[in-house]
Structure 1
């Protein structure tokens, strides 16, 4: 696993999120994913995919910056700042968020196994 692989995986992931591409997300998220939302709720892969399937999440703007990648024994940890604009369940979504994502290489591909997100003030 190289830094370049993670950079490319992050670009693919953010593109899939912006396009609400459920099949791409299904391939990139591990079945046992746990992800903490800014409100403290922990969600699963299925919960996340259902948000996109239902059309509740609409992303108009998604811009990543300040990406830091650390690779430790075959696990990649990514910290990235993301400007998000759109709406979730008919509520406006407009803010800057700090994500941390954990990627692991499996035989078939890289997958996100864990993550967390906080809103920056």
Structure 2
């Protein structure tokens, strides 16, 4: 899947906000625009998921965030690299199962042609 036309994102914090909103609303086009084609996602069960697989899960409805309550957020950016981390209580529908959990995300971002793109993420269940 080729990266779509970039959407201006001035900071890694703004990119994280846009990504979280796209996840909450299931906006697959926005998720696509914010994610590099080569991005990888590391799940709590040790699996590595590609961008295409992640987008397909949102598009099909296999994954849907019903609620996200952010508990803590941190970020760092330097030149063309950035990282965000978040601890949140979520309610997610995953393959038809409703799951309530506290999750931690760490996301790595890169600045390409003036746009922040997600390049990797790691998700862990904390409670």
| Shorter-chain TM-score above 0.5 | yes
**Alpha-carbon deviations, 1:52-93, whole Å to 9, x = none?**
111111221012231111224421011111211031111122
Count, aligned residues: 118
In 1, the alpha carbon distance for the partners of 2:14 and 2:79 equals: 19
Aligned pairs (5 A) from 1:99-118: 99-107=105-113, 109-118=115-124
Structure-2 residue corresponding to 1:50: 56
**Alpha-carbon deviations, 1:28-62, whole Å to 9, x = none?**
01100011001111001000000011111122101
- Verify: 1:86 aligned to 2:92, yes or no: yes
Report runs of 4+ in structure 1 exceeding 3 Å deviation.
none
2:38 touches 2:50 (CA, 8 Å); kept in 1? yes
Aligned pairs (5 A) from 1:1-121: 5-107=11-113, 109-121=115-127
2:76 touches 2:84 (CA, 8 Å); kept in 1? yes
In 1, the alpha carbon distance for the partners of 2:42 and 2:60 equals: 20
In 1, the alpha carbon distance for the partners of 2:119 and 2:92 equals: 25
In 1, the alpha carbon distance for the partners of 2:45 and 2:88 equals: 17
